[in-house]
Amino acid sequence: MKLPVIKQLTQFIEDNDADYIIETIETLEHLTEVPSLKDEELDVIGELISNMYGALEVNKMIKEGQPKKEALNAFMKRVLGAIDV
């Protein structure tokens, strides 16, 4: 996951609507079923999906009252904490 990408997607959600991201995730998940995709292509799609789910989670935290910067930092700390396990 990349914080700048999640930050950009979070801004997109604020400017537009989370439904766009949800529909994009569904589309990308559907694309992963194409049998001819290479591992590298699946990795890129997976990274995009992960960042979009991250942005949705950050957006949820913001809606619950956390300032954007704190929400982004808290989310990334949680991700890094999960990786360290």
Q: Quick: pLDDT tens for 53-74.
A: 999 999 999 999 999 999 999 9
- pLDDT at 81 > cutoff 90: no
- pLDDT at 14 > cutoff 80: yes
Task: Give the tens place of pLDDT for each residue, 28-53.
Answer: 999 999 999 999 999 999 999 999 99
Domain that holds residue 39: 3-84
- pLDDT at 84 > cutoff 90: no
37 in helix, strand or coil?
coil
Indicate the number of domains in the chain. 1
The reported pLDDT for the residue numbered 65 is 96
Q: Which residues contact 18 (CB under 8 A, 6 or more apart)?
A: 56, 59
Instruction: Supply φ then ψ for residue 68, to 5 degrees.
Output: -55, -50
- pLDDT at 7 > cutoff 80: yes
